[in-house]
Each structure stands twice: as C-alpha cells, then as structure tokens.
Amino acid sequence: MDLVSVIVPVYNSAATLKDTLDSILAQNYRPIEIIVVDDCSNDNSHAFAKAYSQQHHKQNINFVIQRNEENMGAGYTRNKALGLSTGRYIAFLDADDLWRPYKLNTQIEAMNSSGRKVCYSAYEIFKDDSNNPVAVQQVFSELTFNKLHNTNYLGNLTGIYDASVIGKISISSMRKRQDWAMWLDVLKKGGPAIGIQEPLASYRLGAGLSASKIDLIKYNFAVYRSHLGYGFLKSCWCMVQFFYEQFFVKNTMKKRL
C-alpha cells in the first residue's frame, strides 16, 4: 500500500480538531502521514495536536506537527504542509471537517481501477451534529478542467491526487479560494477527476456564511484574473458563467435532507 499524506491546516480549531484527527485515524487504509500545520492559533490547537500525535503514534501512522510563527493564511499553511509531505497521494482535511472511515480506501481503489490520477466525492453538510446532516452535495461521475473552471465543484475535503504522476501542486497564497485554484492546476496537469457518488466526508457549516459568500466574490474574480492570468473583460465574462453555473447547476445538485 502506498503512503497517503493528509494535509491538515489549523487555526483556532481546538474545539473540533480531535474529531477531525479521529476521523483520519479511523481510516481502513494504511499507511497514512498526517501533517498538521498550525497557523499561529490563539487557542491551544498546536499544543493539542502535539499531545495527540504522541498519544496516537503507531505503526503505519506518522505525524508531522508544525506551527507558523505568525498568521499566514490557509494557502501558505497548506503549502508549508505540502512541502513536508512524502506520500504518493495527497489529500486534504480542514480541522473542523470529517471523513468516513472508508474514504481513502474507496478513492484509491477507484483511481487504480479507472487509471485516473485525481478523485473527489460527494459530501454531507452539517451544522452541529455530523450524524444529522442538513444536505448532501452531489457530484459528477467525471469532473473536467473546463467544468471546474466554471465554478468550484470539488470539495477540498474530498479531493485526492497521485503526486507520483502529477507532482506536488503548489497552493496559492490567496487568503480564500486557493483550494479551487489548486484543483484547477491539478486537473489541468492530471486530467479529469473520477467522482464517487457516495458521500465520503462531512463539511461543517460555519457562522457568518452570508458575509463570507459576499466576500468570496472578489476571490472568485482573483482566481480568473490573477491565478489564471486572464484579462479584465475575460475575467468578468468568466464570473457571469460562474454565477450561472453556481446557482443553476451546482445548487440543484445539493439535496436538502
């Protein structure tokens, strides 16, 4: 079995980090490398991660725990973790989200059988209790670069790619939407992602979601304008396509429970 590196960026996540790490340890796949990088939290996230790693260090499970000297944002933090990774496969899980126990095994089997180098899946959405999800975000059986270009269909907590073929794909230092930008680069280099229809992860809804969505508009534009290097008018047209795809396609794939 090939090593999977799991990148876990952390910022003030002491209340949820244990559940996140527990869901990684519960995987029926081994070996796993868990890389936790704390982005200069104000709580005891870093101390908890260190103590947890010492308590749960075992065969075929390796922890790497690091801390930024100052707050640098999720992009920088994920990139730092990526640089420390040694696995064939790269996967991501934020410190307030969860995986199903068979997530990694299911995806790697799907990649091996299909020959695809990238995989993603459906995921559940919950507020406080992961056992009572409020919705399921469904996915395409195949996700191409062009489709992902229109809007972000790939939940970062579900994505995994084969770095032995694609290489390590660096992550933008943008404060937000750096995950979407990265997966665009991954699909551009690695080809379409195979989609698993069964939810393999659980995404936790945060507070202030409406404000966040408004704030994200400028970061969506920055993906086209800065990351992909498009001109102003082309970036504006891409945003028109983005809104259409987001509201009239992706939202119809979110099933309320």
pTM of the model: 0.94
Q: 216-241: per-residue pLDDT in tens?
A: 789 999 999 999 999 999 999 999 99
C-alpha dihedral, 56 to 57 to 58 to 63, nearest 10°? 120
Q: Among all chains, which residue has been given the structure tokens 């995989």? A: 119
| Per-domain boundaries in the chain | 1-96, 113-155+175-257
CATH architecture, range 1-96: Alpha-Beta Complex (3.90)
3 — alpha (psi -120 to 50), left (phi > 0) or beta?
Answer: beta
Give the span between the Cα atoms of 38 and 17, in whole angstroms: 11
Per-residue tokens: 172: 């933008």
Task: Kindly indicate the confidence band of residue 211, based on its pLDDT and cuts at 50, 70 and 90.
Answer: very low
* Cα–Cα separations (whole angstroms), residue 79 to 83, 128, 145, 232, 253: 6, 29, 22, 28, 30
Name the amino acid, one letter, at 57.
H
136-158 mean pLDDT: 98
Q: 152-183: per-residue pLDDT in tens?
A: 999 999 999 999 999 999 998 888 899 999 99
Task: Kindly indicate the confidence band of residue 212, based on its pLDDT and cuts at 50, 70 and 90.
Answer: low
81 close to 94: Cβ distance less than 8 angstroms: no
Q: Which helix (H) or strand (E) holds 66?
A: strand 61-67
